[in-house]
Every structure is written in structure tokens, then in C-alpha cells.
Amino acid sequence: MSKPRLLDLFCGAGGCSMGYHRAGFEVVGVDIRPQKRYPFEFIQADALSVDLAFMRSFDAIHASPPCQAHTSLKTMWNAKDHLDLIAPTRDKLISTGLPYVIENVPGAPLGFSIVLCGTMFGLGVAGVAELRRHRVFESSFFICKTLQCRHGKGVIGVYGGHGRNRKRVPVIGVYGGGHGVGLHRREKGEKSFTADEQRQAMGIDWMTVDELSQAIPPAYTEFIGRQLMDYLKAVAA
């Protein structure tokens, strides 16, 4: 029997695609930019202009529209305006009639969704730092989340083309005219990680550091993909 086919829109260098591949899907990626290291069949195109008939030739669709409109960086003084493509992406996916997943950052306007973190999958640099990379996944089918974040102390952040070890310690902050007391966390030193350590933390061995900063660990979509596979089997039965 042939494998179910999944279309990955806004695929980037293929972090999400690899997870679905490991879950048993045949994956085709679409991105507006060339992706020389994308590991599967690739089509360079505007994801929102892909023909509906072509999309319906697949069994399921994943989409990761740009997240810049919803990250914390949007509040910076020099922040640029970014288009919010989540609503038009959702509308197009719904019009296909196929099961779908939309991924974005916390704070994005997603519907029924779950949040996944690297600590749920033991990702990070062994014995040094854990990967806290929270991402939100909206789905048209039910996803059973049985995992919990397991935050420790050392943290690796893979972003902006570099990796940092964020070591934090609890401190008491007094604010609000002296009557507000809270437990805050202050950075205490940073350790730079090598490109190979960043790849290890993400569970990705084929991307550049810049590509890693935009990627999703394959472990996330492998977890989702296995449940999507069960859903497709149940529908077929």
C-alpha cells in the first residue's frame, strides 16, 4: 500500500516535514523561497496561490505561515509591520475539505490547539541545556496531548542565527511603589553553542544555523503525525 501523502505549506528547510515523514507520510513541501537543503520533493511557490485541485490530491495538509506578526519582537521600538497570514491560510485549508494542522508561535490567533515544547521530547544538549521552544498547533482533528513541559535550569535558545545558553536564577523584584513583590528570573551569564550543538538540540542534522532559527523540531510533528495517521485510518475504516 502507498503511504498517505501530506502537503507541507511554508515548509522552510523541512523540520516539520521530517517529523511527518518519520510518522509514515510521503511529504511534498512548498515555500516561496528556494530551499536547497529541503530533504523531500519541493515546489517553489506562494503557498496561498497553490491550486486547490492539486492540494486535494493529498491526504492531509500542514501549514506554518510566517510568525513575525505574533512574536514578542512585534513590540520592539524598531519592529516592522508583518502580514498576518493565519486567517487566509486557514480559509484555504478548510476549502480543501482535508484534515489540516496550522503551526505558529504562542500568542498567534489559533483555534483548537495544543502547545508543544522541546522538554516534552528530551531535546537539548545532553547534560548542559534543554530546548524550550514552545509552538502552538491548531488542528481540524483531535490531538491527544499526553506530554508535559519539564523545565529545568539550563536553557538553549536557537534563534536569530545563533544559540545561547540562558542560565536563570530566581530573584525578588519589588515594584509598584513598594507594594508589589514577585518572583522574577534574571539572566546570569550566557554560553554560546556551536552549530553542531544547536543541531543536536533541535534533532536536525541537515540545516544551517540560520535555517535552524526558523525551524520546528521534527519530534513535534512526528508526535502529531502519528495521531493524524491514526485519524486517517479511522476515517478510512
* pLDDT the model gives residue 206: 97
Residue ranges of the domains in the chain?
5-236
pTM for the full predicted model: 0.82
pLDDT score recorded for residue 170: 28
In angstroms and rounded to an integer, the radius of gyration of the C-alpha atoms of the chain is 19
Q: Average pLDDT across each block of 10 residues of the chain; the chain has 237 residues. List them in order.
A: 92 98 98 97 98 98 79 47 84 98 94 92 88 94 88 65 46 27 39 86 95 95 98 95
Long-range contacts of 73-82 (CB under 8 A, 24+ apart): none
Question: Measured between alpha carbons, how far is 108 from 99 in angstroms, rounded to an integer?
Answer: 20
- In this structure, whether the domain defined by 5-236 belongs to CATH 2.60.120 is answered with no
pLDDT tens profile 226-236? 999 999 999 99
